[in-house]
């Protein structure tokens, strides 16, 4: 069997898959025959599944994205713009978490959803290192504070050093403003040589934080940990990313303590149409 198989009885020879394919590797010779994969198409195929998704007749299957593994889009589940906007606007950075662990199964489920985020050339190389042990997370926050103390001492003129004293003194008083005593932490990473890796990580986690909302989970990007993890060896070792991987902004996650009742406005957008 080739990489693409087409059911000749179902196929209407309408050329929809041919026009849709982003790498133009499907061709339609004439109106009688079903579309075919071009020679060498296997190498150029992105495995994006557009050909399977776009066929209204369910005629096309891909070896790596079989038709049976592609459920139909349910019309009843479609949501309107108002709901989309409310979902997006009601997501907040949560910095107060309930004293309740986040189940590994839920994290797994969210990561599975995050896989549907786009990735450059559909590479899908993002991996996730997840911490669900509060003590360990506190240790990571402590190491970030150690890094801040080091930066302050060695490079007092650094612009980032401005907010560090406050965070350090809060920590010394027992308050974790680095990882907010979060019950879980997700560090997404991608291979160093993957050009789009950092963007892919960010988009995946942005999907994940939206997907977390219906379960009452809140998230917050861990900017302070991000900085420390770039250079602080003890932290790198404690996080232990997959070999050859680079991290980008990690994400705290936990059951949100606050409830929000309003949707604050943002700055007006600055747009230039040309």
Place of tokens 């997006």: 88
Q: Which is nearer to ligand FMN, 50 or 171 (CB)?
A: 171
Using CB under 6 A, which of the segments 1-9, 34-42, 147-155, 220-228 binds ligand FMN? Answer: 220-228
Measured from each CB, the residue nearest to ligand FMN is 223
**Which positions from 240 through 259 interact with ligand FMN, judged by CB under 6 A?**
249
Binding test (CB under 6 A) with ligand FMN, winner from 224, 228, 239, 253: 224
d(CA 60, CA 26): 11
Residue 227 to residues 12, 15, 178, 216, 240, Cα–Cα distance (Å): 55, 50, 11, 28, 16
Which listed range, 23-31, 59-67, 149-157, 222-230, lies at the site for ligand FMN (CB under 6 A)?
222-230
* Residue 106 near ligand FMN by CB under 6 A: no
Instruction: Say if residues 249 and 187 touch (Cβ distance below 8 Å).
Output: no
Minimum Å gap between C-beta 223 and ligand FMN is: 3
DSSP for 48-102, please give it. Answer: --HHHHH-TTS-EEESSS-GGGSPPPPGGG---HHHHHHHHHH--B---B-S-PP
Using rule CB under 6 A, residue 227 touches ligand FMN: no
Specify the stretch interacting with ligand FMN by CB under 6 A; choose among 88-96, 146-154, 192-200, 236-244.
Answer: 88-96
Rank residues 118 and 221 by Cβ distance to ligand FMN and give the closer one.
Answer: 221
Q: Is residue 95 involved in binding ligand FMN (CB under 6 A)?
A: yes
Per 3-state DSSP, what percentage of the chain is helix, strand, and coil (rounded to 5)?
40, 15, 45
Task: Answer yes or no whether residue 208 interacts with ligand FMN by CB under 6 A.
Answer: no
Measured CA to CA, the distance from residue 74 to residue 42 in angstroms comes to 30
Of 90, 93, 122, 160, which one interacts with ligand FMN (CB under 6 A)?
Answer: 93
The stretch near ligand FMN (CB under 6 A) out of 11-19, 40-48, 116-124, 216-224 is 216-224
Whether the Cβ atoms of residue 221 and residue 262 lie closer than 8 Å to each other = no
Binding residues for ligand FMN, per CB under 6 A?
A: 92-93, 95, 220-224, 249
């Amino acid at each position: 069997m080739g990489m693409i198989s087409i059911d000749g009885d179902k196929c209407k020879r309408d050329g929809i898959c041919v026009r849709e394919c982003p790498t133009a590797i499907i061709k339609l010779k004439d109106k009688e025959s079903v579309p075919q994969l071009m020679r060498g198409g296997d190498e150029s195929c992105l495995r994006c599944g557009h050909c399977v998704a776009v066929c209204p007749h369910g005629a096309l299957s891909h070896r790596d994205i079989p038709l049976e593994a592609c459920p139909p889009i349910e019309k009843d589940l479609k949501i309107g713009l108002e709901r989309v906007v409310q979902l997006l606007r009601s997501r907040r950075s949560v910095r107060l978490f309930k004293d309740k662990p986040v189940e590994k199964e839920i994290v797994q489920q969210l990561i599975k959803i995050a896989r549907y985020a786009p990735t450059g050339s559909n590479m899908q190389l993002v991996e996730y290192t997840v911490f669900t042990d509060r003590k360990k997370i506190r240790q990571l926050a402590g190491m970030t504070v150690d890094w801040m103390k080091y930066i302050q001492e060695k490079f007092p003129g650094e612009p980032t050093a401005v907010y560090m004293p406050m965070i350090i003194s809060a920590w010394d008083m027992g308050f974790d403003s680095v990882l907010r005593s979060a019950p879980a932490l997700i560090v997404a990473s991608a291979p160093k040589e993957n050009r789009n890796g950092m963007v892919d990580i960010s988009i995946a986690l942005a999907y994940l934080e939206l997907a977390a909302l219906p379960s009452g989970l809140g998230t917050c990007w861990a900017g302070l940990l991000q900085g420390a993890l770039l250079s602080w060896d003890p932290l790198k070792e404690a996080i232990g990313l997959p070999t050859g991987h680079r991290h980008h902004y990690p994400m705290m996650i936990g059951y949100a303590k606050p409830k929000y009742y309003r949707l604050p406005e943002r700055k007006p957008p600055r747009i230039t149409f040309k």
